[in-house]
Structure 1
Amino acid sequence: MEALTQAPTDAALTTQVLEAAIAAARVILDVYARPIAAVSKSDGSPVTEADAAAEAVILDHLASTGIPVLGEESVAAGIVPVLGERYFVVDPLDGTKEFIKRNGEFTVNIALVEHGVPVMGVVLAPATGETFIGDASGAWACNTASGIADEKRSISVASVTPLRIVASRSHGHAALATLCETLEVEEDVSVGSSLKFCLLARGDAQLYPRFTPTSEWDTAAGQAVLEAAGGAVVTLDGQRMTYGKRDLAFLNPYFVAAASGELARRAAAEMSKILG
């Protein structure tokens, strides 16, 4: 297992971020309990009233930190703060398509980025209360359905073979089959939103290749959790995926998340070959 060095983070700040995610989850579940109306953004992706309401709650909870926040809905409204070297990245409702489908596979994502890398992250699934946290102290899972962190347990990646791969339920790609054959993948587990990173972090799968577009708020919290659990996230050049790409509208390149840096780089090299 290859551990990446995480910058020191304040345990109190992690707790504050967790509380913000729990509060956002309550708002999301209020909307989830009634008929859901969705509209399309300029890029064609869906958005519901839960997205904006959850982000407002998160912004309120994090305001006392004085740390800038890069939020998906704020960016969509043209509000992009001066970020500096330390800022939060927020996706108030990751997996809006899953939310609309009512399959439970949607999450609240909050990450702290320092010097271009996510050093702390919280991924919370409101429908189940399943929650994953990663920071300098390590990675752990708990259940927050009650409003507090219950059943807290440490998690870590599992480097086993044959490999298990996490595929996106809503964003599949034809190249995935070729990659699975090349790496002799035993099975794939389909799940929505940033839960894919979390399945790797707790050892349920070893590989998550992404051949389709994502934004920084889709991945920052999940990357923080996975890296804290001993995994790695690299772009196709084999380098750690970084953040703050304002000139690219905060879009990520294709990437591989894996249970180890070695596996991530191997899969990234194969992806490069497949994609030409």
Structure 2
Amino acid sequence: MSDGAKAATASLPKRFYKEAQVIVTAEGFAIALDGRHARTPARAPLALPTAALAEAVAEEWRAQGEAIDPSTMPLTRLANVAIDGVAQEAEAVAAEIVKYAGSDLVCYRAEGPERLVARQSELWDPVLAFAREELGARFMLAEGVMFVGQPEETLAAVDRATPRDDPFVLAALSTMTTLTGSALIALGVLRGRFTAAAAWEAAEVDEAWNAELWGADSEAEARRALRWRDMAAAARMAALARTSPLPGGERSVRR
């Protein structure tokens, strides 16, 4: 381990628990560390809406070594955001997602070279098809970076498709939108139209082109890997957090 890595590890909080478990509470499926409730930075219980998501979060806590490294716990970090932030600001978070749709990545096409234009079309046209077919939204396209306004009814369709009722799903959708620069790609993942990997390939088409043209940069690749980890975690949370209504007001739980 390098001196820098040792210093970074030394600054992390020490692991203070032996076991991480999932327990059922009034708040949902909560994380317990040696029987005591884990809490968010705002001191709220770290409780998840489904057993499957709670187990995935608990596994991050179990995987920690002598120190607790938040950078290796993307689901936990995103759950904290959902509980401490998104749950109280759902409308503002949803509005920001719709704002992204107003200048969505997939609407701005390169003027050249032809191979890049073709690659963008290959990966981005299916996203626009998804928007038309599942959201009822038709987007205007532009070449270059000149802004093109989207029809009011188009953005209204995106607004209707943006869920507010589950802060974990909304937090995941917001994260995917920010990481990809595309509300449409993120909604496509949320609705099962695209896998996280396919969505990431579409979002990174310009970066991949530049790397192919000029060569890969190790620091840029490292940053890209971290962003992909967060993207994959957000897609996983979106899938594991969702519940479906059952008779009597109960909820089905993905195990």
TM class by smaller structure: under 0.3
TM-score, structure 2 length as denominator?
Answer: 0.25
**Structure with the bigger percentage of strand:** 1
**Structure with the bigger percentage of helix:** 2
TM-score, structure 1 length as denominator?
Answer: 0.23
- In our comparison, the structure showing a higher alpha carbon Rg is 2
